[in-house]
Structure 1
Amino acid sequence: MADTVQFYMEEMIPEMRDLEQKGIFSKKEIKSILKKREKFEYALKRRISKKADFLRYIEYEMNLEALRKKRRARMVSNTKQSISDYAGPRRIYFIYKRCLTKFKGDISIWLQYINYAKKTGASRTLGKIFAQAIQLHPMNEKMWILAAAWEWEENANIVAARVLLQRALRLNATTETLWHEYFRLELVYIAKILARREVLGIDASPEEIEKSLLENKEVDTDNMIKLPSVTGEEFEAFIKDAEDESGDGKSTSNKKQKSKNGKKEKALEPLTEEKAETYRAEANPVLRGEVAMVVYRNAVKEIPDSFPFRKGFLDIANSFIKPKPLKENSIQYIYDSIEQDFKNLPEARALVARRAIDAYKVDEEGYAKGVAETVKEFWQICENGGTKTWELFVENMEAEYHRTQEENLKLYFSKMIDRIISSANKKKIHSERLYLLQINWILSTSTLSVETTSKNVLAILDKAVPQYPDSRTLVLQQIRLLRSLSQSEQMTSLPVIFAHALKTHSESFDIWREYISFIRTAYREGDMTQEQVEEAFLEAIHTTTALLPDVTEERAEIGHIKQGVGAWFLDWINETEGITGVRRVYQSLMKKSLPELTFFMTCVHLEKKNSVDEVASKKAIAMLYEKAIHADEKNEDTYLSFLKYLNETGQIEEANKVLWRAGKAVADKDAFSQRYNEMLEGRWTEPSFGAAELDLDMGMDPQDPDEIMSS
């Protein structure tokens, strides 16, 4: 190991000598660089190498190279490039190679390697990197896409890009992203060629060119020299004259001529009308989009049953503005295939109904006509469609309402949405989603007073909530709107609604937060006594403690509920009774239940905040930290928080004991030691432990209209 490190260090000598001679780094700096590199090299030669060591080494070399370039740029020197100018990047590449020899399967390192090669403009190296990465990760579509994008965008090599994506699809035929990117590549290629031809006027007729010139105000047609048109006979005569001047009277179009360098080359043949016609966009199958449509048809064969997959092709095609790479008949083919294969899917029928709108941008002339056609199509599919079709009708009209800025169109969409909702109500077509769309539409567009708007929406919710009792969103909307009313109206309705909601939706953090906010507001307004609020809090803690633990990511909300209710209770007690009440409550709760880590850390926070009796506070804080450690013995932040407190209060002996316990308990002792040193240096920020980051006073102002409207 030492021999290898020594060999690498000796290889650096010419580079270091060059840097010193140029005056970029001083002797002291060079010694520091060598010492740092030696430390990194030994770290890489451990029996079990760590990815972090390689990445730290690469980061150091990148920073060093950036510093070298900066100093080199400041120097007024005409010296040629030497070893120090390319040794830095070469070493970074070398470290990357060694890292990827150890960690071939780590995609993130490959991506960093690729990005660095792109940044440094190493095209030849980048090609090799892509080849190695694809060989090791042939099932990773991102590698293929990056390689194809590099070939097309950087090298302008459409053939190589196509080949890469075709190979990728042979191995990953059911990967949707690859099909979409291949389709996009073909359309971008067509769009680029069409844009060039448009600039050059290749596909334009003489009449179109003349019309374009006359319409261009910057062109002075009076002073413009018009070239005479050349007929076919005149062109043939011109060719004949050129042949006669050559001396032998023979056609030069069918024989080989010698160029200036003596090599034989074919003489250019005259461009016939038939040959010129093949170069026009309409006659060229690639420019007509036939290759892109072959991609689409093959993609549908491989993945026939995915509507989002088909929709992705349309989204790509419609994302182009001018020139449009796909002809109307090709786009219509995609719509027809979706309509045929997904005739019973509401989303597909809605997409086909939007065909007329999607053909235009919002500010284009035909947009209004497209809207009329789309609305007509939607009414037809709603006649025989289910609830989902009505929901999609409302969603599409609302989306267009927000897209357009033209007042008449906005008014049209507004009236149309009201008409759709009214028609659905008359036909007794209801769903949770349809109710929510109606409610959000009224809240966002109503010009009536906040109170009137709230009462109108509450009338709808009075019908919706009983129909869909399992809907958290409807109940939460009802609670928030009621809280915007006067305190007396809240006290009339909310206790009953909360009693039912907390039984039905006991795992909803938002409903618990609204409930705690409600009882705290009721206490401040004098509608509930301190005993009633404390009893309500204790009942809430009892209910939330009984909830099943949040062992999965999907149930993480339960952990927030348990943390929040206890923290909010302690915060309220601290406001009303001070630290004495806080101690009474947490001592009582510790006897009756098993609080979690965040509960104890909240108690610690309040003890520190209200430290009046220093001896009693120290004793209480130490006890609470011990309880917190017992609740989670491997939590490093708890140990660091305790150690910080002990060091700040001069309890050095106790701190040493806790540090020894932490070293035995934590998973990574080295990482913990580093964090401990950062804490001693003042560079460690104490976390909030979950509960402290929750807003303990969520008491929304009942008269605040903005909060209600935004929710």
Structure 2
Amino acid sequence: MNLEALRKKRRARMVSSTKQSISDYAGPRRIYFIYKRCLKKFKGDISIWLQYINYAKKTGASRTLGKIFAQAIQLHPANEKLWILAAAWEWEENANIVAARVLLQRALRLNTTTESLWHEYFRLELVYIAKILARREILGIETSTEQIEQDLLEDKDVDSDNMIQLPKVTGEEFAMFDKEDEEEDKQNSKKNTKSKKGKKEKTQAPLTEEKAEAFKTEKNPVLRGEVAMVVYRNGIKEIPRSFTFRKGFLDIANSFIKPKPLKEDSIQYIYDTIEQDFKDLPEARALVARRAIDAYKVDEEGYARGVAESVKAFWQICEEGDARTWELFVENMEAEYHKTQEENLKLYFSKIIDRIFTSANKKKVHSETLYLLHINWILSTSTLSVEDISKRALAILDRAAVEYPASRALVLQQIRLLRTLSRSEQTARLPEIFARALKTHLESFDVWREYITFIRTAYREEDMTKEQVEEAFLEAVRITTTLLPDVTEERAEIGKIKQSVGVWFLDWTNETEGIEGVRRVYQSLMKKSLPELAFFMACINIEKNNSVDEDASRKAIIMLYDKAIHADEKNEDTYLSFLKYLNETGQIEMANKVLWRANKAVADKDAFSQSYSEMLEGKWTEPTFGVSAGLDLDTDMDSQEADATLSS
């Protein structure tokens, strides 16, 4: 394919003639041949089929593309993406609505519970209707019987009775795809030949008044959206209990602006079925309540009226709903607040949201999410000063933290807001909050990060002595060392905590005492605990950056690398980092010993040898080993940063 692209560029540059030559066909033919050979051996690889389809589309090989789709679907009838691509190609490229319908109907016969197929068939019918209605509106066809005849008789098989039945699919049908295409091409060529010989073509029967009346939009079942509604009814029979599936149909219907392909009675039917089948689901009730909003775009004339109707409906369902209903009310109003640019509407939404929180509080309707929504709303919209905003939000958070002590999000929000206040208020309240938070949320990386940031800032502001901070760090290391290992993906955060706390300790010690303090700390920690690989690599980085006592640093670095290898003997990057250091410092004899040790320990010797060669050539990039976590601390939060935190 790259060669063919290069040939085309060179031909365009060097050859002025537009006459086609054998080279114009040889390249694509060779590519198709390779694809066919590949797919004979790897029939099950969907990615290759998709590449093949994309290439055929790119080269405009319509006949070949039809055969590719037939073969791919025959081999992978359960893959909805292939069906959808085939139907889209028939409709968008060939303008063949009948073939697109048949493809999706066959797909649904084989995959009755595949939601995306039902949605795409529904979308296809609405797009077809919208296209016809838009064309009629522009050309004024609705009142012209001649244009109606010319327009609708183009699609001869558009009878709704044929379209609503899903035909059965057999293996023979797929095998006959190619033969059908060839026979159709032969018949078309014969028709063309006959017409050239002077034979009269069949004329269409004149359009009577009765037929013209039936072709009008309000009389035609297809243009009224009846086929699309049959798709919806059949879809919800096959997948009756999925709310997201129902909502998908509404999202598709509401995505059309003008002309709307579905009539109001059809959209009302969808809302009625959702309300009836999911009457106990808050999300469904909220969807029905916001129907008046979804009927209009933000800049349309009836939008304000729709908002008022939806707000009234939301208040009604909140009267008898639970906390989730109130949360959805807030979320929907906030979404509309951010969507509109009109100031009066923004003010209206703002008043409504404030009223929701006030009413929920009076009715004692509380939840963790509702509290968080209230806090975020205050922080994002209030025009008060940073300190006043924080105090107002904290008053709510204090009540929420008592009601939901196990909520990590509420505790973190409380800590971050307190850090925007004065140092005296921070030192008065944060120690108690951290003591409670570290017991309840011992496995939260964010809580540990906030705690380490607090004690480092407290030392810098002279609210804590050096001994107190070091004691706090030692206690943090002791607690995190006792955490169970991160053996599952869900517990990956624990590994991050165990790596980072020790690295943060070293980073702070290096700032306050220098390399001697760092050596004292890591030697002490190695005796008391089993540090992670990241801890040793952080020590090595600090030692490498130290140039005060080069001999002592070299001995310390070698010792630390040895400890790091013991921590993870199969880690190739540790060996490569060690070898790189030994080569740079001219310790060749030791480098040979380490290389021999590495070749015995690593799992993939060939890959390691390749990486070692790249390291010698200067092409190998040394990883961070998680050491960057030591620098990822917000230790200086001034008023400007506080403003940024609140606005975010």
TM-score class, shorter = 0.7 to 0.9
CA distance in 2, matches of 1:304, 1:463: 42
- Give the drift of 1:709: 0.8
**Is 1:487–1:702's contact at 8 Å kept on the other side of the alignment?**
no
Which residue of the other structure, out of 32, 37, 47, is the alignment partner of 1:108?
A: 47
1:304-343, aligned counterparts within 5 Å? 304-343=240-279
Deviations 1:462-515 (A, max 9, x none): 110010011111000000000001111100000000000011011111111111
Which residue of the other structure, out of 340, 351, 355, is the alignment partner of 2:287?
A: 351
In structure 2, do the counterparts of structure 1 residues 313 and 585 end up closer, same or farther at CA, with 3 Å as the change threshold?
same
CA distance in 2, matches of 1:100, 1:681: 40
- Give the drift of 1:689: 1.6
Match of 1:129 in 2: 68
- Give the drift of 1:650: 2.8
Which residue of the other structure, out of 493, 505, 521, is the alignment partner of 1:585?
A: 521
Larger mean CA deviation between 287-296 and 168-177 belongs to: 168-177
Match of 1:544 in 2: 480
In structure 2, do the counterparts of structure 1 residues 117 and 569 end up closer, same or farther at CA, with 3 Å as the change threshold?
farther
In structure 2, do the counterparts of structure 1 residues 537 and 382 end up closer, same or farther at CA, with 3 Å as the change threshold?
same
CA distance in 2, matches of 1:104, 1:625: 49
Larger mean CA deviation between 682-691 and 286-295 belongs to: 682-691
Q: What is the root-mean-square deviation of aligned Cα atoms in Å?
A: 2.2
Q: Is 2:578 the partner of 1:642?
A: yes
Which residue of the other structure, out of 543, 548, 555, is the alignment partner of 2:491?
A: 555
Match of 1:120 in 2: 59
In structure 2, do the counterparts of structure 1 residues 136 and 374 end up closer, same or farther at CA, with 3 Å as the change threshold?
same
CA distance in 1, matches of 2:630, 2:55: 41
Larger mean CA deviation between 601-610 and 376-385 belongs to: 601-610
- Give the drift of 1:176: 1.2
Q: Secondary structure at the match of 1:283?
A: coil
Which residue of the other structure, out of 63, 82, 101, is the alignment partner of 1:162?
A: 101
Q: Secondary structure at the match of 2:55?
A: helix
Structure 2 letter corresponding to 1:115: N
- Give the drift of 1:423: 0.9
- Give the drift of 1:596: 1.5
CA distance in 1, matches of 2:92, 2:604: 45
- Give the drift of 1:697: 2.9
- Give the drift of 1:110: 3.0
Match of 2:645 in 1: 708
**Is 1:486–1:702's contact at 8 Å kept on the other side of the alignment?**
no
Match of 2:79 in 1: 140
Q: Is 2:607 the partner of 1:668?
A: no
Structure 1 letter corresponding to 2:326: W
Instruction: List gaps (5 residues or longer) in structure 2.
Output: 146-193
Structure 2 letter corresponding to 1:70: K
In structure 2, do the counterparts of structure 1 residues 353 and 539 end up closer, same or farther at CA, with 3 Å as the change threshold?
same
- Give the drift of 1:328: 0.9
Deviations 1:237-287 (A, max 9, x none): xxxxxxxxxxxxxxxxxxxxx977332433443322112122222222111
Number of equivalences: 599
Structure 2 letter corresponding to 1:316: I
Q: Secondary structure at the match of 2:429?
A: helix
In structure 2, do the counterparts of structure 1 residues 178 and 594 end up closer, same or farther at CA, with 3 Å as the change threshold?
same
**Is 1:520–1:699's contact at 8 Å kept on the other side of the alignment?**
yes
Q: Secondary structure at the match of 1:428?
A: coil
Higher relative contact order (CA 8 A, sep 6+): 2
Q: Is 2:415 the partner of 1:479?
A: yes
CA distance in 1, matches of 2:141, 2:124: 23
Deviations 1:631-682 (A, max 9, x none): 2233232233223223322333433443444344334333333333333333
**Is 2:386–2:643's contact at 8 Å kept on the other side of the alignment?**
no
- Give the drift of 1:444: 0.7
Match of 2:173 in 1: none
Q: Secondary structure at the match of 1:540?
A: helix
In structure 2, do the counterparts of structure 1 residues 534 and 116 end up closer, same or farther at CA, with 3 Å as the change threshold?
farther
**Is 2:540–2:560's contact at 8 Å kept on the other side of the alignment?**
yes
- Give the drift of 1:80: 4.5
Q: Is 2:442 the partner of 1:503?
A: no
Match of 1:519 in 2: 455
Q: Is 2:9 the partner of 1:70?
A: yes
Which residue of the other structure, out of 430, 439, 456, is the alignment partner of 2:375?
A: 439
Which residue of the other structure, out of 495, 511, 527, is the alignment partner of 1:575?
A: 511
**Is 1:458–1:481's contact at 8 Å kept on the other side of the alignment?**
yes
Which residue of the other structure, out of 122, 144, 147, is the alignment partner of 1:183?
A: 122
Q: Is 2:320 the partner of 1:381?
A: no
Which residue of the other structure, out of 138, 151, 155, is the alignment partner of 2:90?
A: 151
Match of 1:421 in 2: 357
- Give the drift of 1:160: 2.3
Compare CA radii of gyration and give the structure with the larger one: 1
Q: Is 2:131 the partner of 1:192?
A: yes
**Is 1:387–1:430's contact at 8 Å kept on the other side of the alignment?**
yes
In structure 2, do the counterparts of structure 1 residues 674 and 307 end up closer, same or farther at CA, with 3 Å as the change threshold?
same
In structure 2, do the counterparts of structure 1 residues 676 and 411 end up closer, same or farther at CA, with 3 Å as the change threshold?
same
Deviations 1:602-636 (A, max 9, x none): 12221212243333222222222222222223323
- Give the drift of 1:183: 1.1
Deviations 1:17-63 (A, max 9, x none): xxxxxxxxxxxxxxxxxxxxxxxxxxxxxxxxxxxxxxxxxxxxx33
**Is 2:507–2:630's contact at 8 Å kept on the other side of the alignment?**
no
Structure 1 letter corresponding to 2:97: I
CA distance in 2, matches of 1:570, 1:490: 25
Match of 1:460 in 2: 396
In structure 2, do the counterparts of structure 1 residues 100 and 638 end up closer, same or farther at CA, with 3 Å as the change threshold?
farther
1:51-90, aligned counterparts within 5 Å? 62-78=1-17, 80-90=19-29
Q: Secondary structure at the match of 1:612?
A: coil
Which residue of the other structure, out of 193, 201, 219, is the alignment partner of 1:283?
A: 219
CA distance in 2, matches of 1:665, 1:98: 42
CA distance in 1, matches of 2:607, 2:226: 59
Match of 2:565 in 1: 629
Structure 2 letter corresponding to 1:610: N
Structure 1 letter corresponding to 2:70: A
CA distance in 1, matches of 2:86, 2:200: 39
Which residue of the other structure, out of 185, 202, 209, is the alignment partner of 1:266?
A: 202
**Is 1:485–1:702's contact at 8 Å kept on the other side of the alignment?**
no
- Give the drift of 1:102: 4.4
Match of 2:346 in 1: 410
**Is 2:80–2:117's contact at 8 Å kept on the other side of the alignment?**
yes
In structure 2, do the counterparts of structure 1 residues 281 and 658 end up closer, same or farther at CA, with 3 Å as the change threshold?
farther
In structure 2, do the counterparts of structure 1 residues 468 and 65 end up closer, same or farther at CA, with 3 Å as the change threshold?
same
In structure 2, do the counterparts of structure 1 residues 502 and 644 end up closer, same or farther at CA, with 3 Å as the change threshold?
same
In structure 2, do the counterparts of structure 1 residues 112 and 532 end up closer, same or farther at CA, with 3 Å as the change threshold?
farther
CA distance in 2, matches of 1:204, 1:402: 43
TM-score scaled by length of structure 1:
0.80
- Give the drift of 1:460: 0.6
CA distance in 2, matches of 1:79, 1:204: 48
CA distance in 2, matches of 1:678, 1:116: 37
- Give the drift of 1:360: 0.4
Q: Secondary structure at the match of 2:43?
A: coil
Q: Is 2:234 the partner of 1:298?
A: yes
- Aligned-residue sequence identity (percent) comes to 82
Q: Secondary structure at the match of 1:639?
A: helix
Q: Secondary structure at the match of 2:201?
A: strand
CA distance in 1, matches of 2:196, 2:110: 50
Structure 2 letter corresponding to 1:146: L
**Is 1:571–1:696's contact at 8 Å kept on the other side of the alignment?**
no
- Give the drift of 1:533: 0.8
Instruction: List gaps (5 residues or longer) in structure 1.
Output: 1-61, 207-257
Deviations 1:158-209 (A, max 9, x none): 2222222222222221111111111111111211222222222112589xxx
CA distance in 1, matches of 2:236, 2:319: 30
CA distance in 1, matches of 2:404, 2:71: 56
